[in-house]
C-alpha cells in the first residue's frame, strides 16, 4: 500500500518572533572549551599576527578609546557570519533566545526574518500574530525598529528589539514593493504560541494535519492528532499533511515524523567534512498500521526539516507532493556553547534525501504543481509565501551540488481556527491546494475499489 498510491497515478517518485529566526536543523549542543589539539600552519600564525597587530594599532592610536573586547567579538562575528547565511556567533542574550525558540512561548510580534544582502527582510508573518493581523508581508524590508536603523544590525539584535513585554508597542518601518514611501507599522506585542500541530476532518474518512514547525514536542502532538483522526473516522482513508510555510526546526523531529509513515530504508543522510558529522537516519517498523495514502503540501516557505519529511516520503513513494517548489535549505547546523554564555551556530554538513538528492538552493520539486488560490477570492491567486526569498537568494548561500533531480510530471493561508487544536474544515476546502489534494485522495479510493473487483 505504501507504494501503490503513487504508482496508481503513474507518478515517478524516487527535502519565530518578536521576530523568530528561520529555524536551523540543530543536531547537537556540545561545549567547546580550550584548544582542540590541532597544529596551525604558518599561514594561520601569520594571519593571527596580522590580527593582533591591527588590534594593537587601534588600541594605541584610534581617535577615541576603544573597547578591545568589543572589537574582538565583532571580529569573531564577522568571521563566522561570512561563512554562510545560517552560521553566527552569538552573545549570551542571543544564545538564550535560540534555546527558547524550540520550546515554550514568547512575547513578540510574530514574524520570520532573515538577512538578504545584509538587509533585514521578512520571510513570512506567523498566522494569527500581531504582524499577521497588521498586514506585514513576505518581502517587506525592515529599515527601522523603534526609530533605530537596522543597517549593519545583527539578526539577533533585531530579534531582541522586536521581542519584549506583552502588550507593549514596537514600531517598525518597512519598505514594500509597490509603495512609494516607507510604511510605519505600530504593533502591540503578544504571546506567540508555539503550538506546532493542528488537525481537522475534511470530509468523513479524510483527515488534515497541519505542521507549522518542528519543536521538541511536535512528534508527540502529531501522534495525539493522528490518534484522534483515526478514531473519529474509524478507518482513515487518506491524509493531507500540510507543510506549507513551515520554516523547519529540529532534525530529530523530522526523522521521527517521517518514521511514522515509513517502515524501512533511509530517511535522510547528513554528510560533513568530518567523519563524526556524517550519519544516516533509518526508518523502522511501527506498531501502528498507517497505510493510508498521503498527499503532502509544500510551498516556498517550506524549509529545512519540512523539506526532509517531504523528500523522504517522496523518495519512498509513500506520499504525493503537491504545491510549489520549497525553499531549498539543504544544510545542517550545530549549536555549541562557549565560555561566559556565548554560543556559536555553524554549518557542519549537507543533507541528502533517501535517493541521494541534495536540495541545497534547489528545493523539493512537487509531483503536481498547484499554485495557491482561495476559491471565491481568485484575485488573491498567489500566497505571499510563494513570492518570498529562497535559500539560493541569501548571501554566501552554499552552492547546490550536481546531484540528480527527479523530473516532475508536466501538469499544470488563510486558515481560521475555532480553537487551538482543531481547524475549521469549511474554511480549509476553499483552499485550492487542499481541495486538489482531497480530490486526489478520494479518486485514489475509487480506483482502488475498481481494481479490487
**348: nearest Cα among 400, 269, 267, 270:** 270
Residue in 24, 302, 304, 317 annotated catalytic: 304
For the chain, the maximum distance between any two Cα atoms, rounded to a whole number of angstroms, is 89
Pairwise pLDDT comparison (242 vs 192), residue with the higher score: 242
Report pLDDT for 101.
Answer: 59
Cα three-residue angle 24-302-2, rounded to 5 degrees: 110
Residue 78: pLDDT over 60? yes
Q: What is the 3-state secondary structure (H, E, C) of 173-214?
A: EEECCCCCCCEEEEEECEEECCCCEEEEEEECCEEEEEECCE
* Per-residue pLDDT at 224: 95
Q: Which pLDDT value is given to residue 381?
A: 43
Residue from 120, 220, 107, 217 nearest 167 by CA: 107
pLDDT of residue 117: 75
Give the per-residue pLDDT at 402: 61
Q: Give the three cell numbers for residue 254.
A: 523530522
pLDDT of 125 reads: 81
Question: Does the pLDDT at position 229 exceed 80?
Answer: yes
Higher pLDDT, 76 or 119: 76
pLDDT at 447: 83
CATH hierarchy code of domain 96-192: 2.30.42.10
- Give 319's contacts (C-beta < 8 A, 6+ positions apart): 5, 6, 241, 261, 293, 294, 295, 296, 310, 313
Residue 205 pLDDT:
95
Range from 59-63, 105-109, 174-178 carrying the lowest mean pLDDT: 105-109
Band of residue 379 on the pLDDT scale cut at 50, 70, 90: very low
Name the most confidently modeled range: 24-38, 197-211, 421-435.
197-211
Mean pLDDT for the stretch of residues 123-127:
76
Q: How many CA atoms lie within 13 A of 320 on its CB side?
A: 30
Catalytic site includes residue 304:
yes
Return the domain boundaries, the chain. Answer: 4-15+194-332+339-452, 96-192
CA distance 180 to 392: 28
Q: What is the mean pLDDT of the chain?
A: 82
Q: Is the pLDDT of residue 286 over 80?
A: yes
Q: Are 132 and 414 in contact (CB under 8 A)?
A: no
Q: Which position among 2, 237, 256, 329 bears the catalytic label?
A: 329
Query: Which of 453 and 263 is assigned the larger pLDDT?
Result: 263
> Can you tell me the distance from the alpha carbon of 191 to that of 169, in angstroms, rounded to the nearest whole number?
13
CA angle 48, 49, 55 (to 5 degrees): 90
Torsion of CA 327, 373, 387, 9, to 10 degrees: 30
**What is the 3-class SS of 256-293, one letter each residue?**
HHHHHHCCCCEEEEEEECCHHHCEEEECCCCCCCCCCC
Q: What percent of the chain has pLDDT over 90?
A: 55
Q: What is the rounded average pLDDT of the residues 216-243?
A: 93
Q: What is the mean pLDDT of residues 233-247?
A: 91
Q: Is 448 a catalytic residue?
A: no
Q: What DSSP designation does 407 have?
A: P
Running DSSP on this structure, what letter comes out for residue 423? Answer: B
Q: Are 434 and 415 within 8 A, CB to CB?
A: no
Pick the CATH number of 4-15+194-332+339-452 from 3.30.565.10, 1.10.600.10, 3.90.226.10, 3.40.1010.10: 3.90.226.10
Lowest mean pLDDT among 199-213, 246-260, 367-381, 433-447: 367-381
Assess whether pLDDT exceeds 50 at residue 444: yes
pLDDT value at residue 388: 54
Per the annotation, the verdict on 217 as an active-site residue is no
**Stretch 262-266: mean pLDDT:** 97
Show the cell assigned to 425.
474544515
The catalytically annotated residue of 101, 190, 259, 315 is 315
* Least confident segment among 35-39, 91-95, 197-201, 351-355: 35-39
pLDDT of residue 400: 75
Amino acid at each position: 500500500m505504501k507504494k501503490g498510491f503513487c504508482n496508481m497515478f503513474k507518478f515517478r517518485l524516487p527535502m519565530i518572533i518578536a521576530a523568530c529566526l528561520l529555524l536551523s536543523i540543530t543536531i547537537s549542543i556540545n561545549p567547546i572549551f580550550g584548544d582542540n589539539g590541532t597544529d596551525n600552519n604558518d599561514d594561520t600564525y601569520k594571519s593571527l599576527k596580522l590580527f593582533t597587530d591591527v588590534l594593537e594599532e587601534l588600541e594605541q592610536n584610534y581617535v577615541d578609546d576603544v573597547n578591545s573586547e568589543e572589537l574582538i567579538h565583532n571580529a569573531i562575528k564577522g568571521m563566522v557570519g561570512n561563512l554562510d547565511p545560517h552560521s553566527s556567533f552569538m552573545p549570551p542574550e542571543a544564545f538564550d533566545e535560540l534555546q527558547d525558540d524550540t520550546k515554550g512561548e514568547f512575547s513578540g510580534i510574530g514574524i520570520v526574518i532573515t538577512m538578504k544582502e545584509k538587509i533585514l527582510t521578512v520571510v513570512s508573518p506567523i498566522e494569527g500574530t500581531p504582524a499577521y493581523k497588521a498586514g506585514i508581508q513576505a518581502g517587506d524590508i525592515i529599515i527601522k525598529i523603534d526609530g533605530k536603523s537596522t543597517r549593519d544590525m545583527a539578526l539577533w539584535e533585531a530579534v531582541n528589539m522586536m521581542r519584549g513585554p506583552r502588550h507593549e508597542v514596537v514600531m517598525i518601518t518597512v519598505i514594500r514593493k509597490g509603495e512609494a514611501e516607507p510604511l510605519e507599522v505600530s504593533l502591540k506585542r503578544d504571546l506567540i504560541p508555539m503550538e506546532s500541530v493542528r488537525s481537522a476532518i475534511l470530509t468523513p474518512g479524510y483527515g488534515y494535519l497541519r505542521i507549522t514547525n518542528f519543536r521538541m514536542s511536535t512528534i508527540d502532538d502529531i501522534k495525539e492528532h493522528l490518534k484522534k483522526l483515526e478514531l473519529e473516522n474509524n478507518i482513515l482513508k487518506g491524509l493531507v499533511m500540510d507543510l506549507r510555510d513551515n520554516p523547519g526546526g529540529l532534525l530529530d523531529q523530522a526523522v521521527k515524523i517521517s518514521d511514522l509513515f515509513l517502515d524501512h530504508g533511509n530517511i535522510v543522510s547528513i554528510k560533513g567534512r568530518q567523519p563524526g558529522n556524517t550519519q544516516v537516519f533509518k526508518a523502522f517498523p511501527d506498531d501502528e498500521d498507517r497505510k493510508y495514502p498521503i498527499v503532502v503540501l509544500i510551498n516556498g516557505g517550506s524549509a529545512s526539516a519540512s523539506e526532509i519529511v517531504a523528500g523522504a516520503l517522496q523518495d519512498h513513494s509513500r506520499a504525493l507532493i503537491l504545491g510549489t517548489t520549497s525553499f531549498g535549505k539543504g544544510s545542517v547546523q550545530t549549536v555549541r556553547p562557549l565560555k561566559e554564555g556565548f554560543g556559536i551556530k555553524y554549518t557542519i554538513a549537507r543533507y541528502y534525501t533517501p535517493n541521494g538528492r541534495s536540495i541545497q538552493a534547489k528545493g523539493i520539486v512537487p509531483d503536481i504543481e498547484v499554485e495557491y488560490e482561495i476559491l471565491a477570492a481568485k484575485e488573491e491567486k498567489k500566497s505571499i509565501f510563494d513570492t518570498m526569498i529562497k535559500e539560493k537568494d541569501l548571501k554566501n548561500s552554499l552552492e547546490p551540488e550536481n546531484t540528480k533531480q527527479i523530473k516532475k510530471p508536466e501538469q499544470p493561508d488563510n486558515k481560521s481556527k475555532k480553537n487551538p487544536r482543531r481547524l475549521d474544515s469549511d474554511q480549509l476546502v476553499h483552499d485550492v491546494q487542499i481541495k486538489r489534494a482531497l480530490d486526489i485522495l478520494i479518486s485514489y479510493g475509487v480506483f482502488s475499489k475498481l481494481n479490487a473487483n
